[in-house]
Structure 1
Amino acid sequence: MLLELQEISLSYGRIQALHEISLTVDQGEIVALIGANGAGKSTTMRAVSGLRPVSHGKIIFDGQDITKLRADLRVVRGVSQSPEGRGIFPGMTVRDNLEMGAYTRRNRVEINKDLDRAFSLFPRLKERERQMGGTMSGGEQQMLAVGRALMSRPKLLLLDEPSMGLAPMLIQQIFDIIVEINQQGTTILLVEQNAQQALSRAHRAYVLETGRIVKSGTGSELLSDPSVKDAYLGVA
Structure 2
Amino acid sequence: MTLLEISDVSVHYGRIRALSGLSLTVEEGEVVTLIGANGAGKTTTMRTVSGLLPVTSGSITFEGDDITRLRADLRVVRGICQSPEGRAIFPGMTVQENLDMGCYTRKDRAAIAEDYERVFSLFPRLEERRTQVGGTMSGGEQQMLALGRALMARPRLLLLDEPSMGLAPQFIQQIFRIITEINEQGTTVLLVEQNAQQALSRAHRAYILDAGEITRTGTGAELLADPSIKDAYLGVG
Q: Which residue of 1 aligns with 2:129?
A: 128
SS of residue in 1 equivalent to 2:154? coil
Match of 1:44 in 2: 45
| Distance apart, 1:116 and its partner CA | 1.0
Superposed, which structure 2 residues align to 1:50-89 within 5 Å?
Answer: 50-89=51-90
Give the aligned partner of residue 176 of structure 1: 177
| Alignment match, 2:111 | 110
Structure 1 residue 29, shift from structure 2 partner: 0.1
**Corresponding residue for 1:12?**
13
Task: Give a deviation string over 1:116-142, Cα, whole Å, max 9, x none.
Answer: 110100011011110000000000000
Shift of residue 46, structure 1, vs aligned partner: 0.4
Task: Tell me the amino acid that sits aligned with residue 163 of structure 1.
Answer: S
2 CA distance for matches of 1:165 and 1:56? 34
CA deviations over 1:17-71 (Å, ceiling 9, x no partner): 0000000000000000010100000000000000000101000001100000000
Matched, 1:186 2:187: yes
Q: In 1, Cα distance between the equivalents of 2:211 and 2:124?
A: 39
CA deviation map 1:200-228 (0-9, x unaligned):
00000000011111000000000011111
The one-letter amino acid paired with 1:123 is P
Q: Which amino acid aligns with 2:231?
A: D
Aligned residues: 236
| 1:225 matched residue in structure 2 | 226
State the distance in 1 between where 2:227 and 2:66 align. 37
Task: State the alpha-carbon separation in 2 of the partners of residues 92 and 109 from structure 1.
Answer: 24
The alpha carbon displacement at 1:113 in A equals 1.1
Give the whole-Å Cα distance in 1 for the aligned partners of 2:49 and 2:104: 20
- Cα distance in structure 2, aligned partners of 1:109 and 1:213: 42
Q: Which amino acid aligns with 1:142?
A: Q
Q: 2:199 is paired with a residue of what secondary structure? A: helix
1:82 partner amino acid: S
Residue identity over aligned pairs, in percent, reads: 72
List, as ranges, runs of 4+ consecutive aligned residues in structure 1 with deviation greater than 4 Å: none
Q: How far apart in 1 are the matches of 2:9 and 2:3? A: 17
Find the aligned partners of 1:159 and 1:145 in 2 and give their Cα distance: 10
Q: Secondary structure at the match of 2:106?
A: coil
